[in-house]
Structure 1
């Protein structure tokens, strides 16, 4: 290091400093920095810790070479230069943080992905090099987390938010212990967890967010500058939890916190937007509580908060439209309760002002048009002025046609227009509006099955598709055949949306990915951005234009003319070559069955299947299930069984019987043809999917009756959510057939006990059931729960997913559970279900080699308990179909353990061919035969009639090809 000591070297260095600014600045700083670092090392003999250690956190102002080196190299660190003195990295990181902190606030107002990525990389380097015990480390981790959260908010992946939360956690751990100092760190973590809850719906996130924010409140002085911020964050978390769990104390808590926040105007000293936002939030939660409790004082307070927000926001401010919208909602809610004409007029007037205040190409314009339509409707319903009706239809129609707005908002607006038009007797206009609305549904969702926000968006559409199809069927124009075609097209588009867009599912988008991957990527990106689920929303108008042009480009491609459009009957009719497909539609207007056969499509009105009747019968059936399986009193159980029998007889009279008569299946086949019963695929949709159509009938009819009125004695039943789903199931294998699987591998999972369940969740017959497929498949993997189960033989989620891709057959003998809050979390209860559950969502990314048959002998594997998602068919049985199994056996309710063994034994015996091999394509017939054997009680003593106990035999169903 002798040369750096020379005076000439120092003079040359000073000449470098005097060079004019230019592109060489960074190189000059890099050279100067290294030069002075070498001089420092050469001229100052140091002992003890290096500058990166305890002493190196603070620069020694008496060491000029070290000071100059740090100043010069800090710029290099900020620029991402990696060739830097390692001992100086901690000091450079701390120095760089001081320069980088102002950038975080600027990024909050920017959506430039390049700047965001650069800032995230810089703050990650700072966090990597700042010493663990540095007093500002918590601040640096918070800055990194904020940048990552901004990146996620502007369209980054979910991993950005997850990592941000991890960094907020680290920052909280590194924060000072004093409550006042910890409050903002608690707020940051709680607020981020609340944001993740809004996306994923994980209750543990919102519960922890509430706890953290309440702790932050306790640590924030009442007159502190951040008190209002913490209060609004706490109010937001409580409101979000109320939206999911519906607990009134959460709503009360949100009201109290927003009220306290707006009562401290000193917290909003200059820009009124913070106060206005909090006033709007207060008005919103007060309105929610009014709608929940009916307390008129809450409605009055909500209106007052709305008026104060409008008065506080200056004319022309871009945020003024939000205040007008909030005030209009409060006035509308109060008017519905009180009927005060002034409130109705005020709601309409503020709605019009809001529409006028938003630019014509603004992506939220449809929201305010929708609000205006709602206000006009409530005034029309009370006063009956046709001008209000026409204006409401005009507002909703404009919202539905606003291409740059969110698809879900446009759909709701279009259907609102359709309902009002139908109510006014304009059936054809109603049908057109409904048709256009439902055709937007493929644009509404992305392709990740477990997404909470996507699930809620679809749940909000519950019943709209059924109404749309009913409007089309009721329209007077055209022919009955044409109306049936339009209705079937809408049901195909609007049902099982999440099913149809799941990863690797055979459909338009998957075909596009395989043949034109870049177009598929652009389509997914633009669609998700337009619906506000992913990507920035600041330029949705331009994105809408690009999306329209892209759709036209895709539809010009060979084989993609109907991309993202309802399939034609011609395209669907081929799927009826193996047997008719019956698509039901139940609505408040009318109910029908659409019968798709190889010859064509027929519509069949079903007046006995009214929606109110279906709701009542479904509720009675489910209550009777519960009583028949759990009541201690034998008389109660017998009465419940009678209800089950009665509902199955009604289901025949109102639905299945008329359908089979029209199809020509007017009685059981002769004995010599019984083995060749015709097949029928049921697509029940909605509430009807909760009832066992395959078991409908008068099972007490004499067996020799030539017109025996049961589905089971006339046809073999299978289920499919849509015709397209059936096409995909058949498209999994060459020629649409799975072929024999005599030498293929089977995965068999047996859970005679289940950790964490009362009494170990004992299934006494699980081993006996698992032995049935085990005896048939020499090449098998058996995962069995037993004492000390561990390693590769344990029935864990990881082991199941590891073996599943290479197995043609999968058989599960275990407990299962349906999640009523989130069907994507319905799961099979394996060894590690408490910490790593095998859920519907976890099966979505599984890639299988040659799947053929999944047999889910567990409770409720085909049950749907989420009212808003009845049309979606999201349950474990459909999840295995999505994973690639063309045949899946599931259950609608809890199954009897010994009966399950008998059905499994008869089922697998029914898969045997004449040559002794096993053919999974016999699955539907094999299950039908097995269930009928149990129903008919072939193994019962004389005098016992199992037909009177459908709870025992009617739960199993076949889904798929």
Structure 2
């Protein structure tokens, strides 16, 4: 026993001291006589007079123990059932329940189950209010109370299941009010325990529903197939176990329909879409007329039928969707809290039928319903922006049909209002701004279009950048920018900024560069899970980075559909049955206060971050001064190819200059990319000598066009007009450095090799990039800043001579074992060049019945384990790109089929000593799509962003002799006078090695190497 609840500084009443002394005698002498002797009850009565005073908890604590001791001292009657009715037992439980609720843990262990049951009755009274609460402290306290109740109950307690379910409900509510995903995980764990503890019977349906519906929510958040499969299975069981009709059956069927729809969106199985339609249709029938659940089920059925019509082309589904949507609207009177959603759903179905059949009445009705939806939401409601976006979309469709200026202005007005809605989700606001910009640009309002696009792009760094698995699931960036992504949205904004009147040409160029930097950085972060401001913040201020990401994710988490787990009834007195507990239809808490509180907290964190040195522009468009500082080592050329126009932005120490490139139109770039890829593949195949020679001629032609349309005008504008002849291995140390940031489409072509290579070698104005500058690549200017900063920090690392060498002379699972004869030659060449080296070599034996891979096998785990300890990493292996998801581009190691080393898997690796990565592998710098939307993300740029200041990669597979020759010359070029290897020489060493190959002796065929770019144009340098 302790003096729980009694402040030490107050004067202790005599009654309190008398009871303390009496109970101390019991404990000291282990004798219950003091609580039954004459005067004991009189002392208890005098003590009870102090209840509700300043010593209330201390009084209850002592009274509880007093009555517990008396209950033990007084003989139990012959009828054992009367034991629970003993007044001393009831008094002890009643007094100690208050102590339990206050957090007191000095309680009689045998009484804990009864005390917990008593406390549960109080906790149940708090559950309804918790559903309307936005107070995280209150919700967390209630969750902790239920957790203590559950812990106090023995494993076999008859009411354990219902209390576990109650705890799960509170945790789930906490998650829904901006809590952490761990709250939802914990809720699912408690629901799972509750289901295991639940007896067989009618009440089991509630436990099945609770777990299934929570898995549905987590599956929706994380796009997890296992969660959605589990949700469907459990909810089907709940539907079979639930009563045949009524609100509860409707609730279960609505959740089942939602789980099936989510699984359809993830996997595309038509049966799931059909099942969702059936689930919602049956749910609507199960709810009685006038029940809000019926309206909700009809609304969701309307959407599913519209989706199915789009898949199958069924006009009947579209007609039923509209009729169902009208029934839902008719069932929701004016002032109904979901009326705006119902109107919007109906408007969407009508718009879909117009697009299918072209009936003007449907389009007019769609616009009218979307307008009513927007008007039904208060102006300060955070959800209004969604309805304004839908209204703008419908008005723009009608403008395209009729050309009515009023519709165009109304559409722009709706989108602009949505974009300006400060309390609305950032992704919705950004999408609205981009939509307004596109329509304004089409209408010729260049300045207004530029302003709208710029405002939208400035929002993108604050959108949660979590790319779900698999990549075809929708995410916040896609919602904000459409399928094109942040990089393409920024390209449009930059083009509009360059074309808009007002300001100086330099100001327009600076604005355009800042927008490109922002969009590309957001896209890189989305694809790789790294890079950009957050990665740098995490390196220097991890706690601030964690707070920022947590608040950003909490703010952008969209509200879950108005379905929630069932709420258990009060468990009742000890020994009563609770198996027939049926959940009531829950109310949806508005959550407005929580959203506003999160927004305020996020603003405060951003202010704190921007006050730190080096982070003044965190999550903002970078300033011109910040970017200009990176041009100290040489110009940085940022290309922008868009449907509006194409330009090069030339960043030098003097500022930013815009260079229009009319010959670099988007269509022309696509044509050259496709021609280059076809010719490259033909030349690599090598089956037909004549076809190979013709393909090489196409490659030469593309490189000449690339000079004429892009690289040539850039070098002329920068003043790089004179070529340096290095031929035969001459020095190129006098050549200036230049960095290319091509982005998107242009990243598929070798800018560093652009030129007329057949010009006379001694021509001082030779029109080739390689003869005028030393080229490097970077995804963004700020990525180059990060690479340089890392390089400076690691220059003096004592482990600078330690290298990881990965050799894959054969690759399991590839045709012909993926033979790479040069891999062993490169490994042998390099092993003796480093003070310390770790060689991981493929032995030709794959995993299987014979046993695991050897300890020194080049597996993903072994490579990732070695990378943090090495300054240089050399990979002689195959690589491949993934057009659908660039972050899944990979190096093909021993276990590539089971556990591939992908771009995304590099994100969490701590490359604290990394200085140089050399990827002597095919396609490590290539992208396999004709229109890359992720800013030319491939293994080469990914390693730069992951932490290597210098990276060498290849755009395609090179010949064995060429690969070894370039590798040898490259590492020779890194040597200093002291024979040490200096990775900071990487760009010049690679440039010299490639020029040696290009300018070397004639081919065996007698043809000039300059006409065979496939041999020497593949290697690229990225980084500092």
TM-score after normalising by structure 2: 0.80
User: Which stretch shifts more, 5-14 or 330-339?
Assistant: 5-14
CA distance in 1, matches of 2:234, 2:159: 22
Note the 1:736-751 alignment, pairs <5 A. Answer: 738=795, 743-749=800-806
Judge conservation of contact 1:328–1:350 (CA < 8 Å) in 2: yes
Note the 1:596-675 alignment, pairs <5 A. Answer: 596-618=651-673, 647-666=702-721, 668-671=723-726, 672-675=730-733
Whether 1:31 and 2:89 are equivalent positions in the alignment is no
Which of 450, 456, 481 is the aligned partner of 1:431?
Answer: 450
CA distance in 2, matches of 1:365, 1:27: 52
Judge conservation of contact 1:496–1:873 (CA < 8 Å) in 2: no
Whether 1:287 and 2:306 are equivalent positions in the alignment is yes
Note the 1:394-543 alignment, pairs <5 A. Answer: 394-445=413-464, 453-454=475-476, 456-457=478-479, 460=482, 461-462=485-486, 463-497=488-522, 499=524, 507=533, 528=553, 530-532=555-557, 538=593, 540=595
Q: Secondary structure of 2:395's partner?
A: helix
CA distance in 1, matches of 2:200, 2:893: 42
Whether 1:885 and 2:948 are equivalent positions in the alignment is yes
User: Which stretch shifts more, 96-105 or 546-555?
Assistant: 546-555
Note the 1:44-193 alignment, pairs <5 A. Answer: 61=84, 68-90=91-113, 92-93=115-116, 96-97=119-120, 99-101=122-124, 103-175=126-198, 183-193=205-215
- 1:67-106 deviation digits (Å, cap 9, x = unpaired): 6544544444343322233444455545544543454454
User: Which stretch shifts more, 35-44 or 477-486?
Assistant: 35-44
Give how far 1:311 is off. 1.4
CA distance in 2, matches of 1:175, 1:832: 44
CA distance in 2, matches of 1:795, 1:593: 42
1:2 match? 31
- 1:506-528 deviation digits (Å, cap 9, x = unpaired): 7599579969987x888666655
Give how far 1:492 is off. 1.7
- 1:337-371 deviation digits (Å, cap 9, x = unpaired): 33323222222222322222222221122222222
Name structure 1 gaps, 5 residues minimum: 47-55
Judge conservation of contact 2:872–2:914 (CA < 8 Å) in 1: yes
CA distance in 2, matches of 1:605, 1:816: 36
CA distance in 1, matches of 2:45, 2:963: 89
Judge conservation of contact 1:165–1:193 (CA < 8 Å) in 2: yes
Note the 1:715-754 alignment, pairs <5 A. Answer: 715-734=773-792, 738=795, 743-749=800-806
CA distance in 1, matches of 2:242, 2:686: 54
Whether 1:914 and 2:977 are equivalent positions in the alignment is yes
Judge conservation of contact 2:809–2:824 (CA < 8 Å) in 1: yes
CA distance in 2, matches of 1:74, 1:832: 59
Give how far 1:315 is off. 0.9
CA distance in 1, matches of 2:513, 2:593: 36
2:836 match? 779
Between structure 1 and structure 2, the one with the greater Rg is 2
- 1:777-825 deviation digits (Å, cap 9, x = unpaired): 2234455666766898676666655554443223445565656665555
Give how far 1:648 is off. 4.7
1:581 match? 636
Name the CA shift for 1:396/1:826 in 2 (closer, same or farther; >3 Å): same
Judge conservation of contact 1:742–1:917 (CA < 8 Å) in 2: no
Give how far 1:431 is off. 1.8
- 1:674-733 deviation digits (Å, cap 9, x = unpaired): 344333211112233344333445667776676665544543322212112212221224
Judge conservation of contact 1:742–1:919 (CA < 8 Å) in 2: no
Whether 1:231 and 2:253 are equivalent positions in the alignment is yes
Which of 379, 392, 406 is the aligned partner of 1:387?
Answer: 406
2:13 match? none
CA distance in 2, matches of 1:73, 1:116: 23
Give how far 1:918 is off. 0.5
Higher relative contact order structure (alpha carbons within 8 Å, sequence separation ≥ 6): 2
2:315 match? 296
Judge conservation of contact 1:804–1:810 (CA < 8 Å) in 2: yes
Judge conservation of contact 1:406–1:531 (CA < 8 Å) in 2: yes
CA distance in 2, matches of 1:541, 1:509: 27
CA distance in 1, matches of 2:737, 2:996: 18
Which of 259, 268, 279 is the aligned partner of 1:257?
Answer: 279
Name the CA shift for 1:222/1:475 in 2 (closer, same or farther; >3 Å): same
Q: Secondary structure of 1:259's partner?
A: helix
1:335 match? 354
Judge conservation of contact 2:1002–2:1008 (CA < 8 Å) in 1: no
Name the CA shift for 1:220/1:619 in 2 (closer, same or farther; >3 Å): farther
Judge conservation of contact 2:524–2:530 (CA < 8 Å) in 1: no
Give how far 1:387 is off. 1.4
Q: What is the total number of aligned residue pairs between the two structures?
A: 945
Q: Secondary structure of 2:300's partner?
A: helix
Name the CA shift for 1:31/1:401 in 2 (closer, same or farther; >3 Å): same
- 1:222-266 deviation digits (Å, cap 9, x = unpaired): 536543333332332333344344454443433333233223333
Q: Secondary structure of 2:1022's partner?
A: strand
CA distance in 1, matches of 2:427, 2:82: 58
2:988 match? 925
Name the CA shift for 1:503/1:237 in 2 (closer, same or farther; >3 Å): closer
Give how far 1:857 is off. 4.7
- 1:252-293 deviation digits (Å, cap 9, x = unpaired): 433333233223333xx6641x23332222222233333344
CA distance in 2, matches of 1:832, 1:99: 57
- Aligned-residue Cα RMSD (Å) equals 4.5
Note the 1:750-769 alignment, pairs <5 A. Answer: 766=823, 768-769=825-826
Judge conservation of contact 1:583–1:683 (CA < 8 Å) in 2: yes
Judge conservation of contact 2:135–2:594 (CA < 8 Å) in 1: no
Judge conservation of contact 1:175–1:182 (CA < 8 Å) in 2: yes
Name structure 2 gaps, 5 residues minimum: 1-29, 561-590, 846-850
CA distance in 2, matches of 1:157, 1:302: 37
Name the CA shift for 1:600/1:367 in 2 (closer, same or farther; >3 Å): same
Q: Secondary structure of 1:345's partner?
A: helix
Give how far 1:583 is off. 0.9
Which of 643, 665, 678 is the aligned partner of 2:736?
Answer: 678
Q: Secondary structure of 2:648's partner?
A: strand
- 1:596-622 deviation digits (Å, cap 9, x = unpaired): 233443322223332234345445655
1:311 match? 330
CA distance in 2, matches of 1:623, 1:435: 37
1:355 match? 374
Judge conservation of contact 2:800–2:870 (CA < 8 Å) in 1: no
